[in-house]
Amino acid sequence: MKSKYIYVFALMLAPLFGAAQMGNPFTLTGKVSDYKRAVDQTIYLKFKQNGKEIKDSTKLINGTYTFKGRISYPAIAVIQLKVADSVEKYYAVTRMLKDYVHEFYIDKGKLSANAVQKLNSTIVKGSKADADRQELKAKLDPYYATNTKMYKEEGAHAYKNKDSLGIANYTKKRSKIDSQIDSVKKTYLFNHPQSGTALNMLREYTQLILEPSEIEPLFKQFLPEIKASNEGQAYAKRMEIAKVTALGATATDFILKDRNGKEVSLVSLKGKLVLLDFWGSWCFPCRQTHPHLRKLYAEYKDRGLEILGVANEHGKPEDNYKKWTVALDQDQMSWINVLNEQVEKGKLSVTEKYNVSAYPTKILIDKNGIIIRKFVGSGEGNAKALDDLIAQILSKS
């Protein structure tokens, strides 16, 4: 009797499972004013679902078109007129914004897309995800306008005349505006976890640093269909890997060789405040931080600070050693330095174990081997924060 009920229950759920696998239906109906430029009166629709590219096309009838299909979760999509090869080449050479293309978020339900001028002026309605995109864009546009105006009035002139002081002043002002842009994006993301745009925004926000204690509670609030997508599952996997080197985690040990071929392990430095510095001879921003590290090391090495540089070189193994050691001498790096080595297929390198995706990355580890802070980039803010933290920790010693 029990198996009968299970069988009946399974039959009841079968249509739901099938619908979930096929996704939800959508209809996109649009109108294009400059449709006459479209070759063969053709317009394309492209988007991805679970790693697979979906591409469709249809004919314009007096500038109107309709696409129908199914979608499992909101995704970035593109509508694009089929234009002449000469037009494609012109935009490729000039790198101008393609006015025959429009990017938006496709979503379930009935969507309208109307362009009163060129196709890139299209306004999409009916897509909740794209409504969120448009709302955020409205918040960001004033900042982007300020950046554009500031470049025309200050930046362009400074760069043209190679005015180092002018460039520095412009860069400082630009950085302030960029920080405000990042703040607006972050606030929107954390206030809209159920948005169809959330995963793409999250990937941008955590491009350099993913701190699970901050991100996991947010990710749990995402739409179920987004979490279940290939992209969502890949992000969840990345988050699990990040937990290994999260703040408060025990730093993963590793053994690499210094310039003399001597093996150095991270665990051998236990009892010291250790700053891991992931860098490379090719990385100009990394090497810009080395004068600061020289000053830090001179001030605190006798008070318990040790710096362990991990160089990641690009090229042939036989060439990497020379590039690395030349940089060591040029930058007068007197602290411990090792060279990251290529690993066997299927194994993780040190940089992968520490989830290093940008250079320079610095990780501060306390005397008990616990990760207490990460720094990505070569900005002055990071340098000051590092100074303050080291001073605070070692002043208690």
**Fold observed for domain 255-394:** Glutaredoxin (3.40.30)
Q: In this predicted structure, what is the pLDDT of residue 315?
A: 84
Q: What is the pTM of this model?
A: 0.77
Q: In this predicted structure, what is the pLDDT of residue 303?
A: 94
Domain ranges of the chain: 2-126, 131-243, 255-394
Q: In this predicted structure, what is the pLDDT of residue 396?
A: 67
Q: In this predicted structure, what is the pLDDT of residue 22?
A: 63
In the predicted model, residues of the chain with pLDDT beneath 70 are: 1-22, 396-397
- What architecture does CATH give domain 2-126? Sandwich (2.60)
Q: In this predicted structure, what is the pLDDT of residue 12?
A: 36
Q: In this predicted structure, what is the pLDDT of residue 16?
A: 34
Among 337, 313, 192, 183, which residue's Cα sits nearest to residue 259?
Answer: 337
Q: In this predicted structure, what is the pLDDT of residue 5?
A: 35
User: Which residues are CB-neighbours of 196 under 8 A, at least 6 positions away?
Assistant: 73, 74, 75, 105, 107, 127, 128, 129, 132, 223, 226
Q: In this predicted structure, what is the pLDDT of residue 13?
A: 36
Q: In this predicted structure, what is the pLDDT of residue 18?
A: 38
Q: In this predicted structure, what is the pLDDT of residue 281?
A: 95
User: Which residues are CB-neighbours of 107 under 8 A, at least 6 positions away?
Assistant: 26, 71, 74, 126, 127, 128, 129, 130, 196
What single letter denotes the amino acid at residue 86? S
Enter the tokens of residue 233. Answer: 């599952």
DSSP calls for 196-229: TTHHHHHHHHTSS---HHHHHHHHTTS-HHHHHS
- Identify the H or E element spanning 241: helix 230-243
The burial of 294, by beta-carbon neighbours within 10 Å (0-12 exposed, 13-18 middle, 19 or more buried), is given as: middle
The burial of 240, by beta-carbon neighbours within 10 Å (0-12 exposed, 13-18 middle, 19 or more buried), is given as: exposed
Question: Partners of 66 in the beta sheet?
Answer: 29
The burial of 363, by beta-carbon neighbours within 10 Å (0-12 exposed, 13-18 middle, 19 or more buried), is given as: buried
